[in-house]
């Protein structure tokens, strides 16, 4: 399915939110993802669009950015192999908070909200492991955003 014959199950063992799952769960979960390929500069999804899927980077890099002015993009982070994004879309039905663009040629694995939720409901033990990891990662991202906001606030006091 993917380059270098690396199985989805083996790859998912290296993805933080799936790393605690057993081989059976990884195989079942892997069957729920589908593969998309993106060329450099190709938009994966746009800020403000309604999302219904989460993505995992199998290869390549993805730039996450937000619009800060008319046609001005502010890059927030560049994600690499094993990173995931769009996770809020599997948890809530709200507009995307950022735009994602292929920074390099990329292979992206995608799971829909419906498949993600069905997996969690069907395999509660694995679902709980995923949700706990997801909560920890989202919490860490929020803490990092808080630090950046505090640094910006401190900086503006000097201006």
Find the range with the poorest average confidence among 1-5, 34-38, 109-113, 153-157.
Answer: 1-5
- Using the CB atoms, write b or e for 144-158: b if 16+ within 10 Å: eeeeeeeeeeeeeee
Q: Tell which phi-psi region holds residue 146, choosing left (phi > 0), alpha (psi between -120 and 50) or beta.
A: alpha
Domains and CATH numbers, the chain: 3-157 (2.60.120.10)
pTM, two decimals, is: 0.86
Share of the chain above pLDDT 90, in %: 68
pLDDT tens, 13-26? 999 999 999 999 99
Q: 52-79: per-residue pLDDT in tens?
A: 999 999 999 999 998 887 777 778 889 9
Q: Which residues pair with 63 in a beta bridge?
A: 78, 101
Is the pLDDT reported for residue 121 higher than 90?
yes
């Amino acid at each position: 399915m993917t380059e270098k014959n690396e199985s989805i199950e083996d790859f998912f063992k290296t993805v933080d939110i799936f790393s605690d799952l057993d081989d059976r769960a990884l195989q079942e979960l892997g069957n729920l993802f589908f593969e998309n390929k993106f060329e450099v500069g190709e938009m994966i999804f746009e800020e403000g669009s309604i999302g219904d899927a989460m993505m995992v980077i199998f290869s390549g890099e993805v730039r996450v950015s937000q619009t800060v002015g008319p046609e001005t993009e502010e890059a927030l982070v560049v994600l690499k192999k094993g990173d995931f994004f769009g996770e809020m879309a599997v948890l809530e039905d709200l507009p995307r908070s950022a735009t994602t663009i292929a920074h390099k040629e990329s292979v992206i694995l995608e799971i829909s909200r419906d498949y993600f939720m069905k997996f969690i409901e069907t395999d509660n033990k694995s679902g709980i492991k995923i949700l706990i990891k997801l909560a920890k990662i989202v919490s860490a991202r929020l803490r990092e955003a808080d630090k950046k906001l505090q640094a910006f606030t401190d900086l503006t006091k000097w201006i």
